[in-house]
Structure 1
């Protein structure tokens, strides 16, 4: 089932990409472009999300530490 799904999605993605880029290709080339584009795009998106996720974790950790320092300074001074 996943192979058929990959071919259908690849054909649709390849069709849209070739139309947006105004490139004329055959059916097999269009499907191949779509499948390879899905692999490349999926890997790039996963990498981007991993990097942004790590950065978001760092920002969250810094904000949490700043909040903790604010609370500590507020109660330690009394």
Structure 2
């Protein structure tokens, strides 16, 4: 996926995760969460279950992967913050 498409899809996935998890983050954090979330999703689910988000350009697979991964990251951040 190209950088511009990754930023757009990552931002959208991060924003969706932010709305779903009722979190308050900025635009840059949404983009980061979406992109890193897609990487986390592909690592966890690709390694464990053999599921990968496929596509060479904007695809619903990357959006879903970014959304799920971003939700996982938000959950982990909340869990760590709650312990300290």
Range into which the TM-score falls when normalised by the shorter chain: 0.5 to 0.7
Partner of 1:15: 15
Question: Deviation string for 1:22-57 (max 9, x for gaps)?
Answer: 00111101111111101101111211234xxxxxxx
Q: How many residues align?
A: 50
Partner of 1:32: 32
Divergent runs of 4+, >6 A: none
Cα distance, 1:9 vs. partner?
A: 1.0
Structure 2: segments with no counterpart, 5+ residues: 51-84
Quick check: which one's helix share is greater? Answer: 1
Structure 1: segments with no counterpart, 5+ residues: 51-78
TM-score, normalising length: structure 1: 0.58
Structure 2: distance between partners of 1:4 and 1:30: 15
Partner of 1:2: 2
Superposed CA RMSD: 1.4
